[in-house]
């Protein structure tokens, strides 16, 4: 089946401030010439977690995924744009490093992964809330927040593949193989998520909700792109991946319970059910074969793996807090509420 190009390449989002406006204006100029003079934008008062910077960064990264309709693919490696992106990345990474704080010399990836495996029975994040008392409307908002990730699920971490070697690479690819449907297009997790969106009556087109989601939903994906696209951060990328896989199975189980309580369509349940089962297996592979082999091969990356796990916590906690604050205050957690 051939997709119309509009479904492959999303439309550019709307600017929300000077940084995103500068990037969008640039991309609309047509095919860039080399060299382009450095582009200057005022960064001094930009909030590193704010919507303007996160949207600008998301747009820059998207050039490495599907790009945008009517934007020249040549922008992907334009030095002037990369220079600007580097400044956004620096601001974001500095803020995350500060929030993660000091990582002690004796802290190990293994101990950090052990901590992740201990799930509180009564947590207070969105999956617990949705399981126990959230509404279907709030569940739809949750789907929309996650759509900027799940419609490209597996892709950000896949940038890390060439940066690995030996057994950790083989094991990492084995897990990603499942994320990409084990060779079957209908089982690609991105596709399963599009089916979830359709069944829920939402827009399943790629980045169809880029203008609706708040900064924290964008930051969640930007962190993965940042780690995946920098070889220097490969240990953090693997830590992020490990944390995603280890926490996915219990979190997905709560969402299955939430969806069953709400009488949700089967395709919605199916997406999370798939993750309850698959990620319980992935957890074991990631711990021993991916992380275990990586740190045995490159011991200096051990604390980077810890950093990746904690950085994911920082960014995901911000999104979770945002959702909970809005929902418990009876407000929409989206920038633009659903109709």
Residues lying near Fe ion in the complex (CB under 5 A): 179, 189, 245, 279, 282
Task: Identify which of residues 73 and 161 has a Cβ nearer to Fe ion in the complex.
Answer: 161
Between vectors from CA 13 to CA 11 and to CA 16, what angle results, nearest 5°?
Answer: 170
Distance between CA atoms of residues 78 and 83, nearest Å: 9
Instruction: Report the first-to-last Cα separation within the chain, whole angstroms.
Output: 31
Q: How far is the CB of 196 from Fe ion (least distance, A)?
A: 12
Task: Identify which of residues 67 and 154 has a Cβ nearer to Fe ion in the complex.
Answer: 154
What's the token pair of residue 93? Answer: 């990474």
Task: Identify which of residues 157 and 303 has a Cβ nearer to Fe ion in the complex.
Answer: 157
Task: Identify which of residues 87 and 282 has a Cβ nearer to Fe ion in the complex.
Answer: 282
Task: Identify which of residues 73 and 277 has a Cβ nearer to Fe ion in the complex.
Answer: 277
Q: How far is the CB of 201 from Fe ion (least distance, A)?
A: 22
Output the furthest CA–CA distance in the chain (Å, rounded): 57
Q: How far is the CB of 269 from Fe ion (least distance, A)?
A: 15
CA distances from 186 to 144, 192, 283, 319, 320 (A): 21, 7, 23, 30, 30
Q: How far is the CB of 150 from Fe ion (least distance, A)?
A: 8
Closest by CA to 160, choosing from 238, 101, 222, is: 238
Q: How far is the CB of 244 from Fe ion (least distance, A)?
A: 7
Task: Identify which of residues 92 and 271 has a Cβ nearer to Fe ion in the complex.
Answer: 271
Given a contact cutoff of 8 angstroms between Cβ atoms, the answer to whether 234 and 164 are in contact is yes
- Phi-psi region for residue 263, left (φ > 0), alpha (ψ -120 to 50) or beta? left
Q: How far is the CB of 189 from Fe ion (least distance, A)?
A: 4
DSSP secondary-structure letter at 32?
P
CA distances from 205 to 194, 231, 256, 336 (A): 7, 31, 23, 17
What's the token pair of residue 31? Answer: 């095919």
Distance between CA atoms of residues 244 and 291, nearest Å: 13
Q: How far is the CB of 80 from Fe ion (least distance, A)?
A: 36
Residue whose entry in the numeric block shows the structure tokens 């945002």: 322
Task: Identify which of residues 252 and 333 has a Cβ nearer to Fe ion in the complex.
Answer: 252
Q: How far is the CB of 191 from Fe ion (least distance, A)?
A: 11
CA distances from 217 to 104, 186, 224, 318 (A): 29, 26, 12, 9
Residue number closest to Fe ion, CB atom: 189
Residue whose entry in the numeric block shows the structure tokens 């798939």: 274
Closest by CA to 48, choosing from 61, 57, 60, is: 57
Task: Identify which of residues 89 and 179 has a Cβ nearer to Fe ion in the complex.
Answer: 179
Residue whose entry in the numeric block shows the structure tokens 């074991």: 284
Q: How far is the CB of 129 from Fe ion (least distance, A)?
A: 22
Task: Identify which of residues 134 and 154 has a Cβ nearer to Fe ion in the complex.
Answer: 154
């Amino acid at each position: 089946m051939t997709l119309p190009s509009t479904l492959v390449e999303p439309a550019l989002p709307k600017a929300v401030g000077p940084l995103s406006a500068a990037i969008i204006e640039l991309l609309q100029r047509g095919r860039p010439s080399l060299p382009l003079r450095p582009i200057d934008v005022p960064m001094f008062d930009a909030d590193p977690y704010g919507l303007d910077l996160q949207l600008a960064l998301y747009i820059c990264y998207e050039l490495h995924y599907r790009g945008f309709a009517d934007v020249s693919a040549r922008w992907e490696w334009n030095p002037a744009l990369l220079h600007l992106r580097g400044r956004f990345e620096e601001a974001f990474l500095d803020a995350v490093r500060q929030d993660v704080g000091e990582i002690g010399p004796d802290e190990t990836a293994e101990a950090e992964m052990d901590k992740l495996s201990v799930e509180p029975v009564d947590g207070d994040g969105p999956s617990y809330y949705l399981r126990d008392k959230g509404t279907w409307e709030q569940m739809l908002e949750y789907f929309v927040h996650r759509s900027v990730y799940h419609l490209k699920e597996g892709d950000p971490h896949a940038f890390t593949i060439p940066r690995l070697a030996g057994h950790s690479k083989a094991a990492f690819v084995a897990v990603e193989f499942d994320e990409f449907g084990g060779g079957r297009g209908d089982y690609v997790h991105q596709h399963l998520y599009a089916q979830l969106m359709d069944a829920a009556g939402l827009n399943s087109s790629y980045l169809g909700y880029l203008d609706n989601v708040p900064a924290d939903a964008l930051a969640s994906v930007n962190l993965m792109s940042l780690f995946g696209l920098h070889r220097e951060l490969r240990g953090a990328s693997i830590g992020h991946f490990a944390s995603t896989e280890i926490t996915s199975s219990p979190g997905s189980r709560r969402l299955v319970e939430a969806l069953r309580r709400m009488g949700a369509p089967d395709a919605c349940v199916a997406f999370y059910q798939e993750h309850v089962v698959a990620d319980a297996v992935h957890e074991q592979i990631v711990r021993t074969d991916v992380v275990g082999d990586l740190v045995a091969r490159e011991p200096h990356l051990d604390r980077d793996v810890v950093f990746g796990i904690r950085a994911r916590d920082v960014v995901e906690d911000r999104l979770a807090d945002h959702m909970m604050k809005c929902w418990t205050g009876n407000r929409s957690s989206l920038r633009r509420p659903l109709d």
